[in-house]
A and B are shown apart, each in its own frame.
Chain A
Amino acid sequence: MTHHATAGIAPQLASPRPRRKLLRSALLGGFALAAASASPATAQRAEPCIGISMEVTGPLANQGLMLRIALETALDKINAAGGVLGRPLRLVIYDDVGEPARAVDNARRIGERDNCVVMFGGARTPNAIALREPLAEMGLPWVGSISAGTGVIEHPGGRNEWMFRVSMKDRWVTEYLIQQAKARSQSGKIAFVYEGTAWGQGALPDIEAAARRNNVTLAGRETFNIGDQDMSAQMIRLRDAGVDTVVLWAVDRESANMLRSMDRIGWKPRIISAWGLTTAFARAVGPLAEGIMVAGTFNWNGPLSPAAQAAFDAMKAKFPDRIRTTADMEQPSAMANAWDAIHITVEALKIAGAYDRTRLRDAMFRVNYTGLVADYRPAFIRGNQERMDAVLPEAYKLQAFHNGMLMPIEATPFGMRN
């Protein structure tokens, strides 16, 4: 590349053109040279490491821990089998404390200082969205296994080239939740309750669009602030509007406080939630969690395939203090997603044949892989950024809390199968 650019300038230097024109040509050639050498297309040898920026401390630190358990266990297995392309893969973890600015800083470290071949993402959608430009500048492939915001993958103008996801997508999740709510609501009066964060507010237009597509008129839309300890006012309004089914978009603590508010006023609607609810929620509220349904991609408490059983056994052996039973898999879907994400990435590295980011990115579109969550054939489709999401809605599963455990819904007394 460098050689061609230099050759392009040389004949101009030899011709009798005016000096200004020569200077302009030289400058243009110089810029072309600089641009070519900085282009992601020329990014070459990277290190056999996976950098990850996630919440190690902060309110969602537990999600970070669950990701770490899945990723480190999977890497142990991969490295024990000889690594990838003859070299062991390392995991480099950075704490973003849940802040987008820290996530960007960490991405720079991973891409420029550590020179890792790929970056993985943590839980928060705003952090992932903040990485869109830096990743494109560095030519660093990114794979998410939690942050489900539609905009993480679907960039304005269809410009996503580097961000892949093995997780749920909010636009598809909202459609799924509305369909499940419609199928289960007896009065047809469905409400949406969401947290007042970027994640919650970002879901509102998707929910409204999904409701329109499914001929559902939302009977209420209620929000709350993070840290709110009482939501009686919102629940009274929904109860008085005759709502019998609530689509919930929130995480453990505030959802528990919402349940308490419902309990105070003696109102128990059906609740169908996005995957912010974990087993920690059930431990905190006890019997009030019974029957609450949660969308997800995987459940460890049901019958497990041999591959899933082996994955669980390996996590249990590596983290005996943290994982004793399948009930300790507090982020069941995210852990399965992460397990699949790392294996898809390894398959892509094998196809790429080198620790080269651009070749890895291109190889991601050629991976076919049977994972825990889905049969990825193919995992991603080039030229269709909607399909830089590997997990399709067909793989979504409804689960329900029963006796304090999050179970596949067919293993509970709470209604229809998926």
Chain B
Amino acid sequence: MEAVTQYLLTGLSVGSVYAMVGLGFYVMWTAAKAVNFNFGDIFMLGAVLTVVAIDQGIPLLPAAVLAVAAAAIAAAAIERGFVRPFNREANAIGWMLTTIAVGTMIESATTALFGSNPRGLPSPLAETPIRLGGAGIYPQELLLPVALIIVAVGLELFYRRTMLGRAMRAVAWNRTAAGLVGIDADRITLIAFGIAGVLGALAGLLIGPVVQASSTMGAVIGLKGFMVAIIAGIANARGVVIAGVLYGVAEKFIEGYLSTAARDAIGFTLMVLLLLLFPQGLFGRKEIKKV
């Protein structure tokens, strides 16, 4: 029972990270029908830039705000410089290559400037775990599902209740028609990538105190965030949240009862099988195009 409790707790925490990164992919995709494939680097910047800001003598909370803002600007800049110019034509795929290239550059530059060693990100919530019998969790990790709920509800309200959110939905629905009614689709897409950057950086910032900040911390997380977005159906935010959390919990049970070493192999196999059964994703709907 202790083991089950532990797997549920850590699975919930890790799954929340996957879901927040997956939501970042959702926001990018709905606005641009393109994503930053190396979004894991934005996740990494959230943690690394916080450490850098703390090194400069800035207290934790302002440092965190600065880091998230800087990562969001970086995400928007990637859209402007490496996605938009390569996503002009229908069915363009150049942005795939350019976002992977710029991600590699960001990771290399971070290694050179920040160093290859992981660095602790100090947080009072990551010092003493809360113990439940033989299981336990750091309060910092409990922040992740809380943040996920706030972010998911906030996004829903943003898309439904604000002019900017409605404009984003309009662009997602029909970019040309949105332009005809006066919506600046390029500007909306830029903002969407910036919002995605906030989500990714926030996830990195929140898990950083538990797993340390390092230049390579985002590679696997970015891949898994993308994976859960695809499993869910990338255009369904609620589905992304559910798929992310479920995948995180499933991973822990695979580690606990099947195989640690084969965890990712089993997880990715599961993803392929699910996509075979549900080509639009678990929660996706088939797109109907009127001709």
Contacts and interface: CB of A to CB of B under 8 A. Distances in A.
A162 to B, nearest CB: 29
Contacts of A260: 138, 210-211
Contacts of A227: 216-217, 219-220
Given A59-B116, A227-B219, A229-B210, A265 B255 contact: no
A232 interface: yes
Interface stretch (A68-76, A110-118, A277-285, A343-351): A277-285
A57 B7 contact: no
Contacts of B220: 227
Contacts of B263: 225
Interface string B262-281: 01100000000000000000
Contact of B116 (A60, A230, A239, A283): A60
Contacts of B289: none
Contacts of B136: 263-266
Interface string A212-223: 000000000011
A224 interface: yes
Contact of A57 (B14, B108, B261): B108
B184 interface: no
A100 interface: no
A372 interface: no
Contacts of B134: 236, 239, 265-266
A233 B6 CA distance: 8
Contacts of B6: 232-233, 236, 264-265
A224 B261 CA distance: 6
B172 interface: no
B190 to A, nearest CB: 31
A58 B119 CA distance: 15
A228 to B, nearest CB: 8
Contacts of B131: 266
Contact of B261 (A223, A239, A265): A223
A256 interface: yes
Nearest to A279: B117
Nearest to A280: B117
Contacts of B212: 253, 256-257, 284
B257 to A, nearest CB: 8
Interface string A263-276: 11110000000000
A223 B264 CA distance: 13
Contacts of A266: 129, 131, 134, 136
B120 A286 contact: yes
A230 B111 contact: no
Nearest to A286: B120
Nearest to B210: A260
Contacts of B112: 57, 61
A331 B118 CA distance: 15
Interface in A227-271: 227, 229-234, 236, 239-240, 252-253, 256-257, 260, 263-266
Interface string B1-15: 011001100100110
A62 B10 CA distance: 31
B10 A283 contact: no
B117 A233 contact: no
B208 to A, nearest CB: 11
Given A229-B207, A283-B120, A263 B7 contact: no
A62 B115 contact: yes
A58 B111 contact: yes
Contacts of B264: 225
Interface string A58-86: 11111000000000000000000000000
A113 B41 CA distance: 37
B36 interface: no
B245 to A, nearest CB: 15
A257 B207 CA distance: 12
Contacts of B207: 229
A62 B216 CA distance: 14
Nearest to B209: A260
Contact of B252 (A233, A240, A253): A233
B135 interface: yes
Contact of A224 (B13, B120, B214, B260): B260
27 contacts: A57-B108, A57-B116, A58-B116, A59-B216, A61-B111, A61-B115, A62-B116, A223-B261, A225-B264, A227-B219, A231-B260, A232-B7, A232-B255, A233-B255, A236-B2, A236-B3, A239-B134, A253-B118, A253-B214, A256-B212, A260-B211, A263-B129, A263-B136, A265-B2, A265-B135, A266-B131, A284-B212
Interface of B: 2-3, 6-7, 10, 13-14, 108, 111-112, 115-120, 129, 131, 134-138, 207, 210-212, 214, 216-217, 219-220, 252, 255-256, 260-261, 263-264
